[in-house]
Amino acid sequence: MEHGGKTYLDLRGLRIEQTQIDKAYLRNVNLRWAVFRDVGFKNARFVGCNLSQVAFTECYLRRAQFEKCDLVNSRFDSCDFSQARITDSRIDFASFKNCEVGLQNIEFHKDATARAMVRVCRSLKLNAMSMGNFGDAGDLSYLEKTYERHGLFREKAWGRWLASTVQHLLWGYGEKPWRLALFMLFNIFFSAPCCIGSTRCRTRATGSTSISAASPT
């Protein structure tokens, strides 16, 4: 079949279970709506493939590579992504559950919309939390809020955008508390000289008033 000026091998709706397809090389293959369950894709390589709405369940994806693929609305459940790479691919609205996948495995597509990235980051964050990977969960939470702020700016929701920007600058949405500590230290060191100067001015003014009141008319 042809789509977007490219010729694809049409394998839509393919269903494979309990099979090893290690070191497979798939290029320009349309696997939309395919279902893979308990399939080994060790060292497999997908290039320019349509994998939208594909379900990967309990698949072994160690060192697998997804390059320039369409993974929109794909579902990954209990998959092992050890040393796997997803690069220059659309992963809008893809979901990950109980998967060994980290931020180092994914290179986000530059053309993805802010709203789509919010959902992707949220899915990856929840997955990381369920796997006990709280370091990635914190980074993904920060990315989620960052993309949300960009989306608010494009939508011209200025009130919510301003509130989000203030949270970002003050403490990085809770993921960068050192910013709040620095802000508090700045306030302390900046406010102290001001308070001392103000106190001295009031003291001098009070002293001058007292002297004026005591002097004879």
67's tokens = 């390059």
Return the CATH fold of 1-109.
Pectate Lyase C-like (2.160.20)
Mean of all residue pLDDT scores within the chain: 83
Tens-place pLDDT, residues 19-72: 999 999 999 999 999 999 999 999 999 999 999 999 999 999 999 999 999 999
- What average pLDDT values come out for the chain (217 residues) when binned by 10 residues? 67 94 94 96 96 96 94 94 92 88 82 84 88 86 91 91 87 73 67 58 52 47
Q: Is-contact 71 49, C-beta < 8 A? A: no
Residue 169: per-residue pLDDT = 82
Please give the pLDDT value at position 50: 95
Q: Say which amino acid occupies 96.
A: F
Tell me how far CA of residue 182 lies from CA of 74, 83, 177, 179, in angstroms.
42, 37, 9, 5
Nearest to 77 by CA among 47, 105, 101: 101
Which DSSP letter does residue 68 get?
A: S
Domain boundaries, the chain: 1-109, 113-175, 177-206
Structural contact between residues 86 and 107, judged by C-beta atoms closer than 8 angstroms: yes
What's this model's pTM, rounded to 2 decimal places? Answer: 0.72
Task: Tell me the helices (H) and strands (E) count for the chain, helix number first.
Answer: 4, 14
Residues of 1-29 as b/e, b for ≥16 C-beta within 10 angstroms? eeeeeeebeebeeeeeeeeebeebebeeb
Residues facing residue 87 across a β-bridge: 67
Q: Which residues of 128-155 are buried (b: 16+ CB within 10 A; e: fewer)?
A: beebebeebbbbbbbbbbbbbbbbbbee
